[in-house]
Chains A and B, each alone.
Chain A
Amino acid sequence: MDINVQPKHGLVTRHPSAAKPRPVPRPRAKPLIRSAGIRFALAYAAVFGVSAFALAFSLWYSTVGLLQRQVETAVRNDSVAISQDYLAGGMPALIAAIHNRLADPVDVERIYLLEDPTGNVIIGNLDHWPRGINQIDSWYQLPVSRGGVASVALLRELALPNGDQLLVGRDVRARAELRNVLRDGLLWALGLMCALGVLGALLIRSLFRRMMHNIAATTRAIARGDLTRRIAKTGDGDEFDELAGIINDMLDRISRLMDGVRQVSNAIAHDLRTPITRARTRLEDASLHAESAEDLQSAVERAMLDLDGIVAVFEALLRIAEIEAGSRRAAFAAIDLAPMLHDIDELYRAVAEERGLFLETSIAGSLPIMGDRELVQQAVANLLDNALKFSAHGTSISFIARAEDHVTEITIADRGPGISAADRNRATERFFRAESARSTAGSGLGLALVAAVAQLHNGTLTLTDNQPGLRATISLPGRVKEGK
């Protein structure tokens, strides 16, 4: 029988012309803010700018504050010293003290002005009494005139008991200029930072685009149906490489699943038609040619057996599909395989003995894994079923389970005909049956199920030559025992 069924709602990959591919919207030029690169860069620039501004501002504030305090302290000390001179020697001592201070060539920023109550200057280095001072013992920063030169000073007025007014202060023009220089510098730096931020944003955006372009182009091609495409890795081992790796793994899995679906639909078309045809033929033949009730009865019974076989194949297929879908991982629990394997050994030992086979079993004391007990049980049972089926009378089957380096290995090796090296890779495909196995009963789904179970547990099924015979090993990642 040569059946070649094309799936109706076919896979676009294989027949791109069969179904009109859905138009994939092309990315248009987007507003800048919709670019993730710009958003990241702006956010970064904003955070950077705000923190830099905060740093600069606090620097500026504390520097200016410190200068101000220094001047205030100096003026206050001056005032105290002069007051003591006055208290000690009266007006003459005061005038002498001011005179001395003004004559000092080191500190030229000192400012004094002594006036009598009528406003006549007694002594001092200011041209006139600055306007704006109306309170005693308060700080004023005012424009002043020193010898005809305009300047700025920090001033404090003292009242003398005889009614004279004394002004003590410091020329702070230089300091005010320093402060302005500092402020301008910081403002320039801020402007530069903004410019750099924008530049950085553009740079990051283009970097982003370049990296995304690779992934976007590949995924777009895949969305159109070309599942063979993979994302090229840069080899830098950076986050994008990691992302590319993850996406590629996902694509591998998707294409494996799609291959599986394709393979299964073909297999169902072929492998299930055969027994269905057999059952149908038997029934039709009986209804046309049965000569006695017994003939009819036996034909019906044989047809029922055929149907049971078909149902078993269906159930196995559904079970494999269920396992491959991965939903049973949710039911994974911490289990010890050892007791379960002992049970299987006991269950099959009787059969082996019945058939004149030697089952040589060695199971480690404890085999902790994270997994589904029932599925591992079925996988091991399948391997033992196979081993029993293909073993000749008098030969031995070894059944070994051990844990090494956090890997639990369950090996079942027989001395049967084995599987040829060429067929071994295909042995886990659904419905695959090696030439030597065609004459025996079976559906060709046993190893497919074992492989699916191993894969569900992030493990592997390895088939090797037992010289002669088949050695099948299920390797499952072990669970690290607590307290070890």
Chain B
Amino acid sequence: MRILVVEDDKDVAGFVVKGLREAGHTIEHADNGRDGLFLAASENFDAIILDRMLPGGIDGLRLLETLRAQDNTTPVVFLSALGQVDDRVKGLKAGGDDYLTKPFAFAELLARVEALTRRGKSDGPTTKLAVGDLEMDLLSRSVRRGPQKIDLQPREFRLLEYLMRHAGQVVTRTMLLEGVWDYHFDPQTNVIDVHVSRLRQKIDKPFDLPLLHTVRNAGYMLRSEEV
């Protein structure tokens, strides 16, 4: 994927660029708002990682507003030290697709960027999701693996749906909290781990091939071995 990183801090930018390249992406980097806007408007990217406070007269919010005013719908992840609820709301209102507060874990950033680009591609409503022999019917709200029907609680269904929609990608605990429970803070208790392990009991335990994997220091990933 082609990703634009607009970030003025040399260390942070270097780290992000290096990490994304290692993950197999093509990166352009701008260290001020003016260059960032020029690149974003003149070239095609799959995602933009955008700092809010930038030198060069154009800050992240204005950059994004200008971009959206030109009907450019490239997914944008804000990466900002401004972490108050208001800042977050402002970022999302300006057209941001996700908002990550500094300091951040690279795994979290990578997971969120990849989740966004995937979201951008799937147009139109899906009625069926499948990962390996695990199938989910969104209309009848039923799940089966191979020939066997799996009974899930409503919340387990939503959790699995989220994981299936992001199959093959790392999904962090925070993303699950936000996406499945609409929580915007980290509880001290390992609530997500418990729910994921319960889901795992239902979809993986009776079968030979595990689908739901734990990714160390990052989160979870749903994938069939052959993908």
Smallest beta-carbon distance A385→chain B, Å: 4
Q: Does B84 sit within 8 A of A, measured CB to CB?
A: yes
Q: Does A348 sit within 8 A of B, measured CB to CB?
A: yes
Q: Does B195 sit within 8 A of A, measured CB to CB?
A: yes
Contact flags B197-219 to A (C-beta < 8 A → 1, else 0): 01000000000000000000100
Of the residues A331, A351, A374, contact of B189 by C-beta under 8 Å: A351
**By the criterion CB–CB under 8 Å, are A385 and B103 in contact?**
no
Given contacts A315-B83, A318-B84, contact A350 B195 (CB under 8 A): yes
Contacts of A322 on B, CB cut-off 8 Å? 84-85
**By the criterion CB–CB under 8 Å, are B188 and A442 in contact?**
yes
**By the criterion CB–CB under 8 Å, are A347 and B195 in contact?**
yes
Most buried by B among A301, A343, A381, A446: A381
Smallest beta-carbon distance B204→chain A, Å: 17
The number of residue pairs between A and B whose CB atoms lie closer than 8 Å in the complex comes to 53
CA separation between A317 and B189, bound complex, in Å? 19
Most buried by A among B184, B194, B195: B194
CA separation between A331 and B198, bound complex, in Å? 36
Given contacts A311-B103, A347-B181, contact A389 B189 (CB under 8 A): yes
**By the criterion CB–CB under 8 Å, are B189 and A385 in contact?**
yes
Contacts of A412 on B, CB cut-off 8 Å? none
**By the criterion CB–CB under 8 Å, are B194 and A351 in contact?**
yes
CA separation between A327 and B84, bound complex, in Å? 11
**By the criterion CB–CB under 8 Å, are B194 and A350 in contact?**
yes
CA separation between A446 and B217, bound complex, in Å? 25
Contacts of B191 on A, CB cut-off 8 Å? 347-348, 350-351
Q: Does B11 sit within 8 A of A, measured CB to CB?
A: no
**By the criterion CB–CB under 8 Å, are B189 and A384 in contact?**
yes
Nearest chain A residue, comparing its CB with the CB of B185: A378
Smallest beta-carbon distance A312→chain B, Å: 7
Nearest chain B residue, comparing its CB with the CB of A327: B86
Given contacts A322-B84, A322-B85, A350-B195, contact A377 B183 (CB under 8 A): yes
Q: Does B90 sit within 8 A of A, measured CB to CB?
A: no
* Interface residues on chain A, size class: 20 to 34
Q: Does A388 sit within 8 A of B, measured CB to CB?
A: yes
Q: Does B190 sit within 8 A of A, measured CB to CB?
A: yes
Nearest chain B residue, comparing its CB with the CB of A446: B188
* Interface residues on chain B, size class: 20 to 34
Q: Does B24 sit within 8 A of A, measured CB to CB?
A: no
Contacts of A378 on B, CB cut-off 8 Å? 185
**By the criterion CB–CB under 8 Å, are B188 and A385 in contact?**
yes
Interface residues of A: mostly helix, strand, loop or mixed? helix
CA separation between A319 and B83, bound complex, in Å? 9
**By the criterion CB–CB under 8 Å, are B189 and A388 in contact?**
yes
Q: Does B186 sit within 8 A of A, measured CB to CB?
A: yes
Given contacts A348-B189, A350-B191, A350-B195, contact A374 B184 (CB under 8 A): yes
Contacts of A312 on B, CB cut-off 8 Å? 186
Contact flags B82-113 to A (C-beta < 8 A → 1, else 0): 01111000000000000001010100000000
Smallest beta-carbon distance A371→chain B, Å: 14
**By the criterion CB–CB under 8 Å, are B187 and A381 in contact?**
yes
Q: Does A294 sit within 8 A of B, measured CB to CB?
A: no
Q: Does B155 sit within 8 A of A, measured CB to CB?
A: yes
**By the criterion CB–CB under 8 Å, are A343 and B189 in contact?**
no
Q: Does A291 sit within 8 A of B, measured CB to CB?
A: no
CA separation between A354 and B103, bound complex, in Å? 32
Nearest chain B residue, comparing its CB with the CB of A325: B84
Q: Does A346 sit within 8 A of B, measured CB to CB?
A: yes
Contacts of A426 on B, CB cut-off 8 Å? none
Contacts of B103 on A, CB cut-off 8 Å? 307, 311
Nearest chain B residue, comparing its CB with the CB of A449: B185
Nearest chain A residue, comparing its CB with the CB of B180: A347
CA separation between A350 and B200, bound complex, in Å? 14
CA separation between A328 and B83, bound complex, in Å? 14
Of the residues A327, A328, A354, A381, contact of B194 by C-beta under 8 Å: A354
Nearest chain A residue, comparing its CB with the CB of B192: A347
Q: Hey, which bits of chain A sit against chain B, CB under 8 A?
A: 301, 307-308, 311-312, 315, 318-319, 322, 327-328, 331, 343, 346-348, 350-351, 354, 374, 377-378, 381-382, 384-385, 388-389, 441-442, 446
- 20 contacting pairs across A/B (C-beta < 8 A): A307-B103, A318-B83, A322-B84, A327-B86, A331-B85, A343-B182, A348-B189, A350-B191, A350-B195, A350-B198, A351-B190, A351-B191, A351-B194, A374-B85, A374-B184, A377-B183, A381-B183, A385-B188, A388-B189, A441-B188
In the A-B complex, the 5 residue pairs with the closest CB atoms: A385-B188, A350-B194, A351-B194, A385-B189, A354-B194
